[in-house]
Amino acid sequence: MADGQETEYEMRDNRYWAPIEGVWQPVPDEAVITEPNKVGRAMKWIFMENGPKRFRCFLPASGV
């Protein structure tokens, strides 16, 4: 969790979408964590490397 941030998200056309600095963006499939969410809340990890900020990882809420 160290550099993760709690986030809101929604589903659009079978893809996760979440905001980065207020701009809603699709979460790449390779960034989605499919392990069980023990935290319960949706979390995102962002990185920036030679360009715009992007999703490193995204953990959808567990629905608890």
pLDDT in tens, 1-40: 468 999 999 999 999 999 999 999 999 999 999 999 998 9
Domain annotation covers residue 42: yes
CA 44 – CA 51 distance, rounded (Å): 18
Where are the strands (E) in 1-64, listed by range?
5-6, 10-12, 15-20, 23-26, 43-48, 53-59
Q: Which domain holds residue 14?
A: 5-59
Is the residue at 64 inside a domain? no
Give this prediction's pTM: 0.88
Question: CB neighbours of 22 closer than 8 A, spacing ≥ 6?
Answer: none
Cβ-contact 20, 53 below 8 angstroms: yes
Does 11 fall in a domain?
Answer: yes
| Pairing verdict, β 23-26 and 53-59 | unpaired
Task: Please give the tally of structural domains in the chain.
Answer: 1
Residue 16 falls inside a structural domain: yes
For residue 52, being part of any structural domain is answered with yes
**Assigned domain for 36 exists:** yes
